[in-house]
Structure 1
Amino acid sequence: MDLPTDATPLLSGSVQHGAHPPQPVDGRPKSFRARLKRFLRDPNVLNAAVSILIGFIIAHIPPPEGLTRTAMQLLGVFVSVILTLLCTEITISIVVLNGLLVLILADSFMCTTEDGKVIECRLCDTEDRIGGGTHISYKCDGRQGSLKVALSGFSMPLSFLVLAAFHIGHAVDATGLGRRVSLLLVKYMGGSLLGLGYALTASELLLGPFIPSNTARGGGILMPITMSLAQVLGSTPSENPETGSFLVLCGNHANFIASSMFVTGTVGNPLIVGQAAAVFNLEFGFVRWFVGAVVPGLVVAALIPLILSKFVRTSYNACAVRSLAKQELSRMGPLSSKEIQVLSVLILCLALWVSGSSLDMPEAYVALLGISLLLMMGTISWNEVIENSKAWDSYFWLSGMVLIADQISKLGLARWFGNFCVGFLESAHLSPLTSTISISTIYFLSMLMFSSLTGHIVALVSPLMEAGKQLGCHSRILTACLAYFSSLAGSLTNYSSGSSAIYFGQGFVDRKTWFLVGGGVGLVHLGVYFTVGMFWWTILGWGASA
């Protein structure tokens, strides 16, 4: 069939779904020069070009002592990725994919040789001379090794935990169980939208001591309820998104608050307890951790929903909403068989997450087990799993970010950063209290470099505790700040944790708003813990001994 004479060729340019293609001028298609000019004027293109240029410059800076050329290349690509995410609307998975492709092409990963040595991929098939004139040959394929490392990110347990949590959330939503729970919340706590925000926060705090995975708790249990609440209130990413945005942000930040208040709140917290014992000979177990966190933690738990509600411009008729909730609950009747199936799986997952350490069942395994049971019972179908695009998109970009963050640690960038901070603070001759605040702030902001709360802890807590010891910081106060900020710093980005990735993936909050709100919440955390927290810890006598 012949095309109309004014049809626009498919490859004439990128057109967004639903947008009209560029109209020809005087019946003639636009010239290549005109299309190029329009392309170059696109703010996304300009901002991405600047981000790439900054990363290119960083990658070619001569490495300082303690770093290698590969580490600088990785840092350059990482900075480019972060700046592109901050300054453009380009899809996050596309940005991460291109970052990985550049790193593979530049052999900017750590490879494993045939005899088990771990070296920079660029050194494959080279020789090195050590003492006594002995030559060492590094037998490996740098390009294939880089590709293998890049793909390994997609097999990390955190990635599959996030993927499974999305599918469990879909089951909660599709069966109507999430809607039922949300209607009950509205019925009993829906006096205001702020009240629902506090209900989500309270739910996180109640579950925090028992589920040692913030991703399982936030993404697997509370996110589906949050989404159902948004639906009950008539909020979608395209219609009345403000209500859903408020609930998503409340759920996300409540997840980090709960994780910070209990040593069992997230899997990385016990590592801090171990480091405090090793560096300061300090016991910082469950009771001391909670006692130190309870006052500042409850303050931020009260403040964050209140502050977020000030930015929501939406009407909320409490009487009408509660009346509707009662009617809907009456119409739904008793639990359906599929709701019972999902509820049973959730209870099983909850029980296994609580006792997983004693049963040697990783969180990701439990979540995948839950998906398997839902599939075998026919609660959800395999086609539903395949068609859950939000799940697969989040799985892709989070896997890439976790892999890059892991390589940052392996290439020594995190260790170098910690040592640099030690040298800088020593030269500044700060008081112990000022040094404590400085180290804690540096640690909090450094979360921008990490896509894993545990990775952040592993990389920086030990060197920063050693720095604090050298600078005479109060051991209990510094340990408290590092302990609580390990989770609270996750509020800064949408890639800091699996739970953030899941909440962000619902599409209610755009990337720039997420970062702006995260920065504001981060300032609240720092302000509260450096004032209310310090005052409370002084009352506890934590500043009496260094």
Structure 2
Amino acid sequence: MRRWLNMLIPVLCTVVLLLFDAPQGLSPQAWHFFAIFVGVIAGLILEPIPGGAVGLVAIVIISLTSRWTLFSPEQLASDHFNVPDESFSWAVSGFKNATVWLIFGAFMFATAYEKTHLGQRMALLLVKSLGRRTLLLGYAVALADLVLAPFTPSNTARSGGTVYPIISNLPALYGSKPNDKSSRLIGSYLMWVAITTTCVTSTMFMSALAPNILSVALVHDAIGLHISWGTWFIAAAPLGILLLVATPLLSYWLYPPGIKHNDEVPKWAADQLKELGSLSRNEILLLVLVCIALVLWIFGTAYVSPAMAALLVIAVMLITGVLEWSDITGNKAAWNTFFWFATLVALASGLSQVGFIHWLGREGGSLLHGSSPLTAIIVIVVAFYLLHYLFASTTAHTTALLPAALAIGHAVPGVDMQLLSMMLVASLGLMGIITPYGTGPSPIYFGSGFLPAADYWRLGTIFGALFLILLLAIGLPWMELVL
């Protein structure tokens, strides 16, 4: 029953909007496209079917109804305009987007980390070195996520799939149990540090969160600006490093563990490392290959595109046996994400193609008429950040709101679009902390039994407000200086 209700709501959202006439200044086909787009966003939030399937259904519907949703009367009247061919070309346009292939390639990197146990080994090494004191253990959790972040575009895979399975073993060593008063001994602290730090690292690196990479494509699509891996890191690093250093300590003060010291954790990690044994051939190969990929992503963009660099490394993984072809064909999450992002890229570009984004920017810009460029940037960033309360997916948030926010900023005279773009995309990782459903790993930690709902919402509000304030107070002036 719930599934059918979740399937009905997106359809109703579309139908209700279609019952209204297009707003003044907006073409009918743009309004029809937007109505379907709203239904897609509702579908991505409720997920009656997987996200990739939602996107696929949407582009099929728009393609079949393209005479009323996608193409203007002028285009349809042209003798050289073939509607079936043009609608199909639009529908599959996202699948040839280099960013989509980069995301897919990076998922294969995550698979290699898991298959070779290199990710598990790196996290255990940090725990072994820093796990004697609870605060230092918090920093070990943060560092484990940081080490994996540049190479793992899914914070769900990185934090939920690599870090969480390791730290979930730790509370029991202290007698800290889920759904119990003893959870506050150490388990609650560790879980909160893990989810907050993955939000921070998701902001630090363009390749640390899948919507980050999507946002780069959307920014380029909307205003023609290219944000490189290096540009992103330089802009986000000062705030990210500060938050990464401060988060375990702030959590220690605001959500203090009952146990501050224990000698058993490093011993446990050492035993786990002994079981893993020495570095395997495939782990060594993977280390070399991810370093090559990182170098190419940062320094080699003039010679090879980031997507091709990722595919090159994957090809070498297949040749050397680090990955097998079945690892690629059997990775459902990667293929789901591939279809999801490819269809979302097409849908987002379609909003621009039909003129909806231009109209929205003009209307939103009129609301900020007379505002200074700096005031406009602050208002747009704050609204963009707080609207994440309405989304259970950073991807859905990015797809729905980023093009609109950019269009509004572009309509305000004097706004530095590079600065606004970087502020918006740098907020995507941070905003995941505000709710128990704000980002991929959130439900994992929320469901661990160590973070009661009242605690999660309270801490999410505190840390979410702190992240936003520091983004404006530190990130904004720094980006003004370096961009």
Give TM-score scaled by structure 2 length: 0.71
- 1:72-151 matches, cutoff 5 A: 72-87=31-46, 90-107=49-66, 120-121=70-71, 123=73, 126-127=76-77, 136-142=78-84, 144-151=85-92
Relative to structure 1, the CA distance from residue 160 to residue 247 in structure 2 (aligned partners, 3 Å threshold; closer, same or farther) is: farther
- Contact kept, 8 Å, 2:361 with 2:411, in 1: the verdict is no
Relative to structure 1, the CA distance from residue 349 to residue 295 in structure 2 (aligned partners, 3 Å threshold; closer, same or farther) is: closer
- Contact kept, 8 Å, 1:67 with 1:413, in 2: the verdict is yes
- State which structure, 1 or 2, has the greater radius of gyration over its C-alpha atoms: 1
Report the CA distance between 1:153 and its aligned residue: 1.9
Report the CA distance between 1:459 and its aligned residue: 7.1
Indicate the structure with greater helix content.
2
- Does residue 484 (structure 1) correspond to residue 423 (structure 2)? The answer is yes
Report the CA distance between 1:365 and its aligned residue: 0.9
Relative to structure 1, the CA distance from residue 398 to residue 91 in structure 2 (aligned partners, 3 Å threshold; closer, same or farther) is: same
Whichever residue aligns with residue 161 of structure 2, its letter is M
> What residue in structure 2 maps to residue 154 of structure 1?
95
- 1:391 is matched with which residue: 326, 329, 334? 334
> What residue in structure 1 maps to residue 165 of structure 2?
231
Q: Which stretch shows the higher mean deviation, 178-187 or 330-339?
A: 330-339
Relative to structure 1, the CA distance from residue 325 to residue 422 in structure 2 (aligned partners, 3 Å threshold; closer, same or farther) is: same
- Does residue 250 (structure 1) correspond to residue 197 (structure 2)? The answer is yes
- Contact kept, 8 Å, 1:121 with 1:145, in 2: the verdict is no
Q: Within 2, Cα distance between the matches of 1:317 and 1:481?
A: 44
Q: How many residues align?
A: 435
- Contact kept, 8 Å, 1:493 with 1:518, in 2: the verdict is no
Report the CA distance between 1:423 and its aligned residue: 1.0
Q: Helix, strand or coil: the match of 2:302?
A: helix
Q: Within 1, Cα distance between the matches of 2:154 and 2:9?
A: 38
Report the CA distance between 1:155 and its aligned residue: 2.8
Q: Within 1, Cα distance between the matches of 2:92 and 2:140?
A: 41
Report the CA distance between 1:232 and its aligned residue: 3.0
Relative to structure 1, the CA distance from residue 294 to residue 335 in structure 2 (aligned partners, 3 Å threshold; closer, same or farther) is: closer
Relative to structure 1, the CA distance from residue 409 to residue 55 in structure 2 (aligned partners, 3 Å threshold; closer, same or farther) is: same
- Does residue 467 (structure 1) correspond to residue 412 (structure 2)? The answer is yes
- Does residue 67 (structure 1) correspond to residue 26 (structure 2)? The answer is yes
Q: Within 2, Cα distance between the matches of 1:344 and 1:311?
A: 39
Report the CA distance between 1:375 and its aligned residue: 0.8
Q: Which stretch shows the higher mean deviation, 156-165 or 313-322?
A: 313-322
Relative to structure 1, the CA distance from residue 307 to residue 464 in structure 2 (aligned partners, 3 Å threshold; closer, same or farther) is: farther
- Does residue 362 (structure 1) correspond to residue 309 (structure 2)? The answer is no
Whichever residue aligns with residue 49 of structure 1, its letter is L
Gaps spanning 5+ residues in structure 2: where?
Answer: 170-176, 179-186, 448-452
Q: Within 1, Cα distance between the matches of 2:249 and 2:17?
A: 39
Whichever residue aligns with residue 83 of structure 2, its letter is D
Whichever residue aligns with residue 91 of structure 2, its letter is A
- Contact kept, 8 Å, 2:30 with 2:355, in 1: the verdict is yes
Report the CA distance between 1:372 and its aligned residue: 0.8
Whichever residue aligns with residue 368 of structure 1, its letter is L
Report the CA distance between 1:310 and its aligned residue: 7.7
Q: Helix, strand or coil: the match of 1:185?
A: helix
Relative to structure 1, the CA distance from residue 173 to residue 409 in structure 2 (aligned partners, 3 Å threshold; closer, same or farther) is: same
- Does residue 504 (structure 1) correspond to residue 435 (structure 2)? The answer is no
The percentage of counterpart residues that share the same residue type is 20
- Contact kept, 8 Å, 1:93 with 1:396, in 2: the verdict is yes
Q: Within 2, Cα distance between the matches of 1:480 and 1:518?
A: 29
- Does residue 351 (structure 1) correspond to residue 295 (structure 2)? The answer is yes
> What residue in structure 2 maps to residue 19 of structure 1?
none
> What residue in structure 2 maps to residue 39 of structure 1?
none
Report the CA distance between 1:407 and its aligned residue: 1.5
Relative to structure 1, the CA distance from residue 369 to residue 293 in structure 2 (aligned partners, 3 Å threshold; closer, same or farther) is: closer
Q: Helix, strand or coil: the match of 1:504?
A: coil
Deviations 1:392-430 (A, max 9, x none): 22222222222211222222222222211111222xx65
> What residue in structure 1 maps to residue 172 of structure 2?
none
- 2:325 is matched with which residue: 382, 387, 401? 382
- Does residue 174 (structure 1) correspond to residue 112 (structure 2)? The answer is no
Report the CA distance between 1:106 and its aligned residue: 1.8
Q: Within 1, Cα distance between the matches of 2:61 and 2:256?
A: 40
Q: Within 2, Cα distance between the matches of 1:374 and 1:156?
A: 23
Relative to structure 1, the CA distance from residue 109 to residue 350 in structure 2 (aligned partners, 3 Å threshold; closer, same or farther) is: farther
> What residue in structure 1 maps to residue 316 of structure 2?
373
- Contact kept, 8 Å, 1:256 with 1:488, in 2: the verdict is yes
Q: Within 2, Cα distance between the matches of 1:334 and 1:139?
A: 63
Give TM-score scaled by structure 1 length: 0.63
Report the CA distance between 1:487 and its aligned residue: 2.0
- 1:51 is matched with which residue: 10, 17, 20? 10
Q: Helix, strand or coil: the match of 1:219?
A: coil
Q: Within 2, Cα distance between the matches of 1:219 and 1:152?
A: 22
Relative to structure 1, the CA distance from residue 60 to residue 220 in structure 2 (aligned partners, 3 Å threshold; closer, same or farther) is: closer
- 1:495-534 matches, cutoff 5 A: 504=440, 508=444, 523-530=465-472, 532-533=473-474
CA RMSD in angstroms, aligned pairs only: 5.1
Q: Which stretch shows the higher mean deviation, 515-524 or 69-78?
A: 515-524
Deviations 1:188-228 (A, max 9, x none): 23344532343146548xx8xxxxxxxx6442899558733
Q: Within 1, Cα distance between the matches of 2:332 and 2:154?
A: 17
Deviations 1:304-355 (A, max 9, x none): 9956998999999953332111122234332211211211211211221121
Report the CA distance between 1:441 and its aligned residue: 3.0
- Contact kept, 8 Å, 2:107 with 2:334, in 1: the verdict is yes
> What residue in structure 2 maps to residue 327 of structure 1?
271
Whichever residue aligns with residue 526 of structure 1, its letter is L
Q: Within 2, Cα distance between the matches of 1:45 and 1:309?
A: 45
Relative to structure 1, the CA distance from residue 525 to residue 256 in structure 2 (aligned partners, 3 Å threshold; closer, same or farther) is: same
Whichever residue aligns with residue 327 of structure 1, its letter is D
Deviations 1:38-91 (A, max 9, x none): xxxx23433432332122222343223443222212211221122233345543
Q: Which stretch shows the higher mean deviation, 54-63 or 297-306?
A: 297-306
Report the CA distance between 1:187 and its aligned residue: 1.2
> What residue in structure 2 maps to residue 14 of structure 1?
none
Q: Within 2, Cα distance between the matches of 1:330 and 1:320?
A: 15
Report the CA distance between 1:293 and its aligned residue: 7.4
Q: Which stretch shows the higher mean deviation, 46-55 or 298-307?
A: 298-307
Q: Helix, strand or coil: the match of 1:357?
A: coil
Q: Within 1, Cα distance between the matches of 2:458 and 2:331?
A: 27
Relative to structure 1, the CA distance from residue 309 to residue 251 in structure 2 (aligned partners, 3 Å threshold; closer, same or farther) is: farther
Whichever residue aligns with residue 153 of structure 2, its letter is G
- Contact kept, 8 Å, 1:154 with 1:399, in 2: the verdict is yes
Q: Within 2, Cα distance between the matches of 1:122 and 1:312?
A: 60
- Contact kept, 8 Å, 1:185 with 1:199, in 2: the verdict is yes
Q: Within 2, Cα distance between the matches of 1:161 and 1:382?
A: 18
Deviations 1:81-110 (A, max 9, x none): 222333455432333333233222321799
Whichever residue aligns with residue 274 of structure 2, its letter is S
- Contact kept, 8 Å, 2:67 with 2:76, in 1: the verdict is no
- 1:412 is matched with which residue: 351, 355, 359? 355
Q: Within 2, Cα distance between the matches of 1:121 and 1:51?
A: 23
Report the CA distance between 1:467 and its aligned residue: 0.3
